[in-house]
Amino acid sequence: MAAQSAIITVMERACRKAGPRLRRDFNEVSQLQVSKKGPADFVSQADKASEEALVDALKFARPGWGFLLEEGGEIAGEPGFPRFIIDPLDGTSNFLHGIPHFAISIGVEHEGAIQAGIVYQPLTDESFWAERGRGAWLQDRRMRVSARRNLDEALLATGIPYRGHGDQQQFESILQQIIPEVAGVRRFGAASLDMAWVAAGRFDGFWEQGLSYWDIAAGILLVREAGGFVSDFRGGERFVERRELIAANDQLHSKLHKTISTAIRS
């Protein structure tokens, strides 16, 4: 077992500060379903409250560091300092509909690379964390990506384009290529958890388009430190710029990349 470093401890404490409020708000959502406007406004406030709690805790522990926030945008830190990349409530639509699958995601970026990351599921109290060069962990248990090598055995996760997010035609082309080759495809609606589950070996692979940096910052490090590979659809490192990502073990990543590249070309 690897002892948590100071920065992982700081991030986990911040998540555990925001988590109880999210749990409480999640239990209240079902009470608001009778109103068309009520639930959406309530969830928006829950999202912002979570972000504020995270920022307050992290600013106190690491003054001078910068932030890239889903709700609050970019907050510059002092020159040469790292920055936190935060999604305070990944899986907002799940939260809105009372589906218990959402997470807090925090990554630490320094000198252009993710150095540490955590994905925290408040309802299950699962903390998926990784630090560059020190492996990936679920609580105190080392995580490894799945050892499956064949697509016909693989259970994959993805995200479906919605309301102007992502390329629907490209997604359908990719899905048509992948579906006949694999054991199954799941769409659970929280990219950070999908990637954490790839790192934990629950999913064998993941692909999605239309992603923002805060969706994937922590997940990229989790998968890589668990022995997996992460790339854009073309096999490169421009997943933030292109807003597309493939994650899996080495064998499945190669096969997924080939399948997705074929679909894109066609």
Say which residue, 27 or 23, is predicted with more confidence: 23
In terms of CATH architecture, what is 151-265? Answer: 3-Layer(aba) Sandwich (3.40)
Beta-strand pair 155-158/184-186: parallel
Whether 32 has a pLDDT exceeding 80, the answer reads no
Mean per-residue pLDDT, 135-150: 97
Alpha helices in 157-226 (DSSP H): 168-178, 191-199, 213-225
Spatial distance between the Cα atoms of 226 and 37, rounded to a whole number of angstroms = 42
Task: Give the per-residue pLDDT at 97.
Answer: 85
- Cα 27 to Cα 120: distance, rounded to the nearest angstrom: 18
**What are 108-124's pLDDT values in tens digits?**
999 999 999 999 999 99
Instruction: Give residue 48's Cα distance to chain centre.
Output: 18
pLDDT at 39: 60
Start and end residues for every CATH 3.40.190.80 domain found in the chain:
151-265
pTM, two decimals, is 0.93
Residue spans in the chain of domains classed CATH 3.30.540.10: 6-142
* Amino acid in the structure at residue 211: L
**Domain at 6-142: CATH architecture:** 2-Layer Sandwich (3.30)
What are the tens digits of pLDDT across the range 90-107? 998 898 888 999 999 999
Q: What Cα–Cα distance (Å) separates residue 242 from each residue in 29, 40, 186, 238, 258?
A: 34, 29, 23, 6, 18
CA–CA distances in Å: residue 90 to residues 112, 132, 230: 23, 23, 20
Give pLDDT, residue 118: 98
Question: In the predicted model, what is the mean pLDDT of residues 15-29?
Answer: 91
